[in-house]
Amino acid sequence: MSRVCIYHNPRCSKSRQALALLEEQGDELDVVHYIDTPLDSAALSALLQQLGMSARELIRKGEDTYKELNLGNPELSEAELVQAMVDYPRLIERPIVIRDGKAIVARPPERVLELYA
């Protein structure tokens, strides 16, 4: 049995669906409510590296905060985008699931099953 970590927002239907799929697999789950317990910049940067993604790829572009802070500005650095997600965790795409060292953004939620293939 593996240990699985999910960065979860219970208000998000996709995150709830992914969590339900994970619960069906029977692994031990670490559920991180990242809105209530935000990641710091080092942890988020490490997570981005594990995902193989840039901050720009992980950031939720449909959020009002994204537009208000003009985060679509191509001049912004990776560090600036990471800091924006640290300051405003709702900007982080969700859910993020880690199993056996492999991390994915589970959108659609069925992507979690890729971690079991």
pLDDT for 1: 67
Bridge partners, 32 (sequence order):
7
Q: Which domains does the chain have, with CATH numbers?
A: 1-34+94-117 (3.40.30.10), 39-92 (3.40.30.10)
Residue 12 annotated in active site: yes
Q: Are strands 28-33 and 3-8 parallel, antiparallel or unpaired?
A: parallel
Q: Give average pLDDT by consecutive 10-residue segment, the chain, 117 residues.
A: 91 96 94 96 97 98 97 98 98 97 96 93
The model carries a pTM of 0.93
Q: Which of the following is catalytic: 2, 5, 12, 39?
A: 12
Token pair 């056996």 is at which residue?
A: 100
Tell me if 6 sits within 8 A of 29, measured CB to CB.
Answer: yes
